[in-house]
Structure 1
Amino acid sequence: MEFEPPIVTGVGWETPLGNTLDGVWARLLKGETGVREVPSGTPLRSNLAAIVPDVPLEQPPGERQHTLATRAITTALADAGLTPEVLAGPGTELILGTSYAANLDDPDVVRLDDWARGVAEALGYPRPPLCVATACSAGSDALLMGAELIRSGQREVCVCVGADIVTPAKRLGHSLLGTMSPDGLRAFDSRHNGMILGEGAGALILESVNHARSRCARERAILHGAGSANDAAGMTAPDPAGSSVVLAVERALAGSGLTTQDISVVSAHGTATPVNDAVESTSLRTLFGAAAEKPTVFGTKGALGHSLGACGTIEAITLIQALTDRQVPPVQGLDEPIDDFPLPLPPAQDRGTPVPAGSGLSLTLGFGGFNTALLFTVPAADHE
């Protein structure tokens, strides 16, 4: 039996630039950034970070992540026109993704999924939720799992969440790894020298076609395909050939009815580490280098920071916004693109670059070689 791809009927997020859909998007288009100086009790390579402003840093990290996740889910359910009671239904799955959450900073954590169980309990979800911890791809993998559950007919509604927080241990870890920039995140710029940590949460409501249309739900987007691959090249460094990134995209395209020619926008992982930027450049050249019409690439980590396990869902929302609005925000800090980057990039000084109608590709590349690709389109009515 053939099952249709899931429909995105609701979205919600908590970001360093706010938590309203249109408000955050407008600030991104204006080139604003949530990155600022955040004092640290330990010497770091940089004190820059992107913090959600209305969740006090003085609170314990686990409480902060709980707040971000539950607020994003509540917003997404309301945006979908669903009440929280839908979570109690047997046809609903709650899927939460993160990296290490607060576990590196809290010695009392017993299970790595304690935070997810706490969110589920607070929202009235009656079963243990699914918890994904595939590093920076965790949010995207939550969406991949939700899409598969709906496509296979096992669930009617999937609430897919990515949530993560800035903590002292994460800041120290990335400082020691050398992945943290001392002066700013400049993805795909020749001066790139690392990322800046961020935090937030993104939630997307996926529904089967029958479930969404039986209640006349608004259709924000269609998740046409999802694919993942692991290069197993190292604990932190990706495979420089980019072959598993390409494989993840090919798996997302398989059975979707789409080809690379249908993609007009790419939301890149764009961490601004020289290694990551090189891998994405190589992968995108393999995928789109021969295309007559090349998609525009954008990335939002310069504005929102690298929110680790949350970035996949947050960036899925920015991609849906770009497809709906037919424009992409500037890439923060991009003034001197790296040599021979294969696709168009919106420079930092632009304030909304137009893109043609089409489909969108979101890429996430996680530590440990976790690479995930998501393919979205928006309904034709939203293009008119």
Structure 2
Amino acid sequence: MAWSTALGSDLDEVWRALLSGATGVTPVPSAHPVRNGRAAVVADLPMDLDPVQRQYELGARTLRAAVADAGLDVTDPRLRLVVGTSYGSHLDVPPDGLDRWGEALATGLGMARRPLMVSTACSAGSDAILVGAALIAEGEEEICVVGGVDVLTQAKRLGHSALGTMSPTALRAFDESHDGMVLGEGAAFLVLERDGSAQERGARVRGRLSGTGSANDAAGPTAPDPSGDTVVQAVRTALAAAGRSTGEVGVLNAHGSGTPVNDDVECRAFGSLFAGGAAPVVFATKGAFGHTLGATGALEAVAVLLALRDKQVPPVPGLETVMPGFPLPLPSGAALPFAGEVGLSVTLGFGGFTTCLALEAVA
């Protein structure tokens, strides 16, 4: 697996930065009035590059790194790329079809097969992982490279300013003063492979994707169903697929966008899921990475795997006073240890898309 974030691209260095409470949110100039003049950007990806080129460069470097981390070559004919984005560069350039960027990525890297593209708003990275897992489970593919890529663009900053989803100050997930998100950019890819195939070639295994679940509430174009029932359904579906119970979950990476609506939905859903039982530690990374839209689910899957490896989670950036009624432990100010081998990653996307990934540590 590999990621490219506002805190860097080395897996362990970025993870240590997260554990220390670091954030990649910095001032980012805008040619137009936006609600927040800060964002989380990949430092060595020049902002003056054409948005299409930035999307390609970010995707290409991260995909190459993930495939190399798996001990494979990007031209291996067994590889099937499944990649997600929200809008990528497509709000800032003439419409060219959301499938074209993935085709260009695969072709530019010399991949032998056509990719599959997923665009389900902020759950796109998670849904790419879900689709790759389904292809392998159903015997259609042996190895899939799955993930998400999204870049910061002017149109996204203007759009979220107009929608009112952006905080004028900072992203404070699950804090009583939360008032919106802050945008970011990034990419992450993971290599999924059948057990038998991985064993045959002596691959290093970083974890197991043991179950996936998705649901759609169709409540509206942006806001989720306030009941939280869709989150509950997605989590229960993922745990059932994994053959696990809520009592076995040690850690949960929440969507944690910092918008009052989304935070309230997750608060309600987690209270329903874990009422009277185990209390997994919850963490959220968007205060450090920014809200990376279609890349967020893939970035957070990597974070969950690293948390399972080290049995600790980073503090939630910006969290000072936990919002009333939040039902589970949240780390504030310092990393927090946990016990357990099962982790969940939950993403909520515009259009009602909700996805849960169940991940497990391996010996």
8 Å CA contact 1:320–1:376 kept in 2: the answer is yes
Q: What is the CA distance between 1:69 and its match in structure 2?
A: 0.7
Alignment-derived partner of residue 262 in structure 1: 248
Alignment-derived partner of residue 50 in structure 1: 40
Alignment-derived partner of residue 241 in structure 1: 227
8 Å CA contact 2:234–2:354 kept in 1: the answer is yes
How many equivalent pairs are there?
A: 363
Alignment-derived partner of residue 349 in structure 2: 366
Alignment-derived partner of residue 89 in structure 2: 102
After superposition, what is the alpha-carbon deviation per residue over 1:206-265, rounded to whole angstroms, capped at 9, x for unaligned?
000111000111110000000100000000000000111111111112231111111000
Q: Does 1:212 align with 2:202?
A: no
Distance 2:39 2:290 in 1: 7
Q: What is the CA distance between 1:24 and its match in structure 2?
A: 0.3
Over the aligned positions, Cα root-mean-square deviation in angstroms equals 0.8
Partner of residue 198 from structure 1, selected from 178, 181, 184: 184
8 Å CA contact 2:75–2:112 kept in 1: the answer is no
Q: Which amino acid aligns with 2:343?
A: G
8 Å CA contact 2:40–2:290 kept in 1: the answer is yes
After superposition, what is the alpha-carbon deviation per residue over 1:168-187, rounded to whole angstroms, capped at 9, x for unaligned?
00000000100000110000
Tell me the secondary structure at the aligned position of residue 255 of structure 1: helix
Tell me the secondary structure at the aligned position of residue 71 of structure 1: helix
What 5-or-longer segments of structure 1 have no aligned partner?
Answer: 1-10
Distance 2:13 2:50 in 1: 28
Q: Which amino acid aligns with 1:181?
A: S
Report sequence identity in percent.
53
8 Å CA contact 1:224–1:375 kept in 2: the answer is yes
Distance 1:372 1:85 in 2: 30
Structure 2 length-normalised TM: 0.99
Q: Does 1:181 align with 2:164?
A: no
Alignment-derived partner of residue 279 in structure 1: 265
Q: Which amino acid aligns with 1:354?
A: P
Distance 1:286 1:93 in 2: 37
Distance 1:121 1:173 in 2: 31
After superposition, what is the alpha-carbon deviation per residue over 1:292-336, rounded to whole angstroms, capped at 9, x for unaligned?
x31000000001100000000000000000000000000000001
8 Å CA contact 1:69–1:161 kept in 2: the answer is no
Alignment-derived partner of residue 330 in structure 1: 315
Partner of residue 151 from structure 1, selected from 114, 131, 137: 137
After superposition, what is the alpha-carbon deviation per residue over 1:319-359, rounded to whole angstroms, capped at 9, x for unaligned?
00000000000000000100010000001x21x21111320
Q: Does 1:321 align with 2:306?
A: yes
Distance 1:171 1:110 in 2: 21
Alignment-derived partner of residue 80 in structure 2: 93
Alignment-derived partner of residue 17 in structure 2: 27
Distance 1:76 1:290 in 2: 40
What 5-or-longer segments of structure 2 have no aligned partner?
Answer: none
Q: What is the CA distance between 1:128 and its match in structure 2?
A: 2.6
Distance 2:135 2:239 in 1: 18
Partner of residue 31 from structure 2, selected from 29, 38, 41: 41
Q: Does 1:128 align with 2:118?
A: no
Q: Does 1:341 align with 2:326?
A: yes
Alignment-derived partner of residue 62 in structure 1: 52
Tell me the secondary structure at the aligned position of residue 75 of structure 2: helix
Q: Which amino acid aligns with 1:340?
A: G
Tell me the secondary structure at the aligned position of residue 321 of structure 2: coil
Distance 2:92 2:4 in 1: 22
Alignment of 1:73-92 (within 5 A): 73-86=63-76, 89=77, 91-92=78-79
Distance 1:132 1:290 in 2: 37
Distance 2:295 2:10 in 1: 17
Partner of residue 285 from structure 2, selected from 290, 300, 308: 300
Q: Which amino acid aligns with 1:125?
A: M
Tell me the secondary structure at the aligned position of residue 198 of structure 1: coil
8 Å CA contact 1:48–1:196 kept in 2: the answer is yes
Distance 2:213 2:147 in 1: 17
8 Å CA contact 2:222–2:350 kept in 1: the answer is yes
Distance 1:254 1:295 in 2: 17
Distance 2:52 2:200 in 1: 38
Alignment-derived partner of residue 294 in structure 2: 309
Q: What is the CA distance between 1:74 and its match in structure 2?
A: 0.6
Which segments of structure 1 move beyond 6 Å, counting only runs of 4 or more? none
Alignment of 1:11-26 (within 5 A): 11-26=1-16
Q: What is the CA distance between 1:127 and its match in structure 2?
A: 3.2
Q: What is the CA distance between 1:85 and its match in structure 2?
A: 2.6
After superposition, what is the alpha-carbon deviation per residue over 1:267-303, rounded to whole angstroms, capped at 9, x for unaligned?
0000000000000000101111221x31000000001
